[in-house]
Chains A and B, each alone.
Chain A
Amino acid sequence: MTLLTRRTLVTGGALGAGLLLSGCDRLAQQPAFRRILFSGETINMGLQRALMDRNALAPEFTAEQMSPVFRTNGNSNPNTPDYNRHVAENFANWRLDVGGLVDRPLRLSLTDIGAFPQRAQITRHDCVEGWSAIGKWQGPMLGNVLKAAGVRNSARYVVFTCADLWSSAPYYESIDMVDAFHPQTILAWAMNDKRVSVGHGAPIRLRVERHLGYKNAKYVMRIDAVASLAGIGLGKGGYWEDHVNYDWYAGI
């Protein structure tokens, strides 16, 4: 009798757990609960911003601590006719457009980008999937480029539009002004003391070191200062944010 009760309980418990799990999925479809579920991003961002100095630096490493192999991920070659032409020309005719809410829109060649004061940093790249790789990145601070373009006070975000197409729309990402003017946020044209390879985002990859990998956009073609993310893509601030609900705040 007792054993039967126990067995019934164990079976009931397992069934209950299964029901609870499928209940979780049904719950997550409810708009009201989904808002609660997605509020974790806002709370975590608020807590992290409160705990962290505006210019607190991501850990930097020594050359001996670098990953022997830095794997690629996501798109490893945009492979569009325009991009392939730039690769064939070694990016000699490629230009980076800086526009939006700026007083002096810029068209920068790789030479122009190399003429800004440079910052080199050995940092850890953390993929949202869980792996990490340590590499060296070099380029001008995004903040200096934005200052050169005369970014306006009305700008609240910086949007990066990329050469790689995802279901025929360009990959894009965005960061706010705190991260845009962070000293480690650079437009990297060199990785591990060589020009950034096609696999890693040639000719320019954004490094925004307090965020996960998907925020570090490859193949950056355009930079726009904007007041709002509404109307760009699906309005959530990035390709993965729009299409699979990744957190816009990728510091977690």
Chain B
Amino acid sequence: MDDPTAPRQLPDPPAPAPLPPQTTGLVYRHGLATRIWHWINAVTIFVMIGSGIGILNAHPRLYWGQYGANFDHAWLDLRPYGSILRSGWLTIPAGYNLAISRRWHLLFALVLAFGLLAFMIASLINRHFQRDLRVRAKEVGPRHLWADLLAHLRFDFHNPDNPAAYNTLQKLAYVATIFVLIPLMIFTGLAMSPGMDAAWPWLIELFGGRQSARSIHFLAASGIVLFVVVHLTLVILAGPINEVWSMITGRWRLPAPREPDPAPSPLPEPEPAE
């Protein structure tokens, strides 16, 4: 794995001061805007998924293009999974009720959309995006991603030099969710509204038709479900009490220093200078 001809693989920045790395105590990790948005979204995403499945159950077939109904070709037909998709523990409301599912979905859609907008503005102002979510070019190189993946598989989520920083896969997951998946949900959702199609005709063209928008809405929602599952799993693996508490108070307890480890270090060791 070590390649002496690749000089730019070193993890940086170098430690700014010769202070010993802080290994215990609390660090301020999550800004107020992040914490507020996180908990509003925890409720909102939960409602959107439950009510969204309720709406999907009204016509569980998906099409590409401008039109699509029972006599047209569906690229995905979920009717065989109807008994699962109609389970009371999965949908809002528990019993099939398209009107009430839509009431939940279209009210919380406003919370999701305007919440994202407010969070984006706040995170540009408090520099959360620039400081914590900016993905550097060297982080997405295959070597670095591979090392990060191996570290995840060892349940080793923190860079010992800067334990509070997000690791690369974590950053990519957040960036994909905040800048791709949730905006896709919002805009494909708007594109399904006949009123919005009159107000913003370009929107439906962008997605190639209302049924395409509906299919993309479903795919992006599946991506968000995947994010939530991985997110909750990793919260549990990383220490749920510390993680949840830090998302309430903002303060996160640094992990205990690791015992000397026979396993190789997660990142390639720096080559000696000269």
- On A, residues with C-beta under 8 Å from B are 6, 9-10, 13, 17-18, 20-22, 24-25, 28, 36-41, 43-44, 48, 51-53, 56-59, 61, 65, 67-71, 124, 126-134, 209-212, 240, 244-247, 250-252
Contacts and interface: CB of A to CB of B under 8 A. Distances in A.
Given A40-B103, A134-B66, A251-B196, 20 more contacts: A18-B89, A21-B50, A21-B88, A48-B195, A65-B66, A67-B67, A68-B71, A69-B69, A69-B71, A69-B72, A71-B71, A124-B67, A127-B59, A128-B58, A130-B58, A132-B211, A211-B194, A240-B99, A245-B99, A252-B196
Contacts of B236: 6, 9-10
A42 B199 CA distance: 17
B56 interface: yes
A129 B96 CA distance: 12
B137 to A, nearest CB: 36
Majority SS at the chain B contact face: helix
B93 A37 contact: no
Nearest to A208: B194
A130 B98 CA distance: 11
B240 A9 contact: yes
Interface in B232-259: 232, 236-237, 240
Contacts of B98: 128-129, 244
Interface stretch (B104-112, B138-146, B157-165, B265-273): B104-112
A36 B198 CA distance: 27
B102 interface: yes
A21 B240 CA distance: 22
Contacts of B184: none
B193 A247 contact: no
Interface string B143-161: 0000000000000000000
5 contacts: A9-B240, A17-B89, A56-B199, A59-B201, A251-B193
Interface of B: 46-47, 50, 55-56, 58-59, 61, 66-72, 88-94, 97-100, 102-104, 106-110, 192-201, 204, 210-211, 214, 232, 236-237, 240
Nearest to B97: A244
Nearest to B211: A132
Contact of A36 (B68, B107, B240): B107
B234 to A, nearest CB: 12
A210 to B, nearest CB: 5
B94 A25 contact: yes
A133 B67 contact: yes
B43 to A, nearest CB: 9
A57 B198 contact: yes
Contacts of B210: 124, 126, 132
